[in-house]
Amino acid sequence: MDINSLAEKILKEGSELQAHDCYILPIEQGFRCFYRKGDKRVGEQSFSEEIGNKLILHFKYRGGMNIGEKRRAQLGSFSVEIDGVKRRFRLSTVGNFEQKESLVLRFLHSFEVQKLQFFFEGQLEELREKTLRRGLYLFSGATGSGKTTTMYQLAQMLEEEKQIIAVEDPVEIENARILQLQVNESIGMDYEALIKLTLRHRPDLLIVGEIRDEITARTVIRAALTGHTVFSTVHAQSPKGVFLRMKELGVSDVEMEQTVKGVIYQRLFTDNHGKTRALFSFSKNGKKETEWNDLLEKLVQEKRISQEIYSQEKFV
């Protein structure tokens, strides 16, 4: 099979699996390739060093990346039609100390494809009721835990006349219901500039893709202080970690107390029937982690998740 055909096979397989990512990683002899769906690896296969390098080069070219640069991390993106459906992909590459590159291919599925199934019926509707107050709601969890998807599903539950604006880098889930703005720092449209712009439109809900730095953190806090409802994500490994992360980004305890109305911690697990489902807990101040442990305990008692998942994911 030639490289073009192999690349198309990977894109098609991952799309059909509704995988979140495809990893192409160097190993001692050659490359390992696998998909990640929820908390599981699927479709693992191996390639020779020659095939692996050519495959990464192929994707870098399609993603508009510098094919001659193997040391520095790079980001790229492209779209392609698969079985009559436009598919979008995001790429990231980085080289190790031996200048052997690894590649992660993110599958940016449509909103309908990405919709999450939750372990507890009605839990999303309950969360919607808890997020009706104006203020800041922070969604946390590991990379690939469905945080953005949950924010979009909540937004979709708003009345049709409500105005929803999202600022992302990049836009991960296309949704015609939402006015989606993409960060473009090369023309001065960074998170801060776009968030300030959106506030003039008085959105009923503002979605900020991720709080990555002090400037974005300060801008999000200001938006919440002016009476807007704001959803955003923070990379943290626990509800308590959200507050620690925000402190690192220069947000004071007083500002957190005044603006944060809820912390949602979420993970994706494979249940005992092999289906990927989302579990989240909600806390007003992020300090209580007992609800998360209680939910996990209930799932393991009902034999819906394994004891291994329970042991790995509970907070000690």
Amino acid at 75: L
Identify the bridge partners of residue 105 per DSSP, sorted by sequence position.
22, 91
Summarize pLDDT for 33-78 with one digit per residue, the tens.
999 987 789 999 999 999 999 999 999 999 999 999 988 899 999 9
Summarize pLDDT for 175-211 with one digit per residue, the tens.
888 999 999 888 889 999 999 999 999 999 999 999 9
Quote the pLDDT of residue 287: 67
Cα R_g (the chain), whole angstroms: 20
Which of 109, 143, 159 is where one domain is finished?
A: 109
Summarize pLDDT for 260-299 with one digit per residue, the tens.
999 999 999 999 998 999 999 999 876 667 899 999 999 9
What range defines the domain where residue 101 resides? 3-109
Mean pLDDT of the chain: 93
CA distances (Å), origin 290, targets 126, 197, 206, 251, 286:
18, 39, 29, 25, 11
Packing angle, helices 123-130 and 147-156, rounded to 10: 80
Other Cβ atoms within 10 Å of 197 Cβ, number? 13
Question: In terms of domains, do 287 and 183 share one?
Answer: yes
Total number of domains in the chain? 2
Question: In terms of domains, do 8 and 19 share one?
Answer: yes
Summarize pLDDT for 99-109 with one digit per residue, the tens.
899 999 999 88
- Supply the CATH number for residue 72's domain: 3.30.450.90
Which of 109, 125, 152 is where one domain is finished?
A: 109
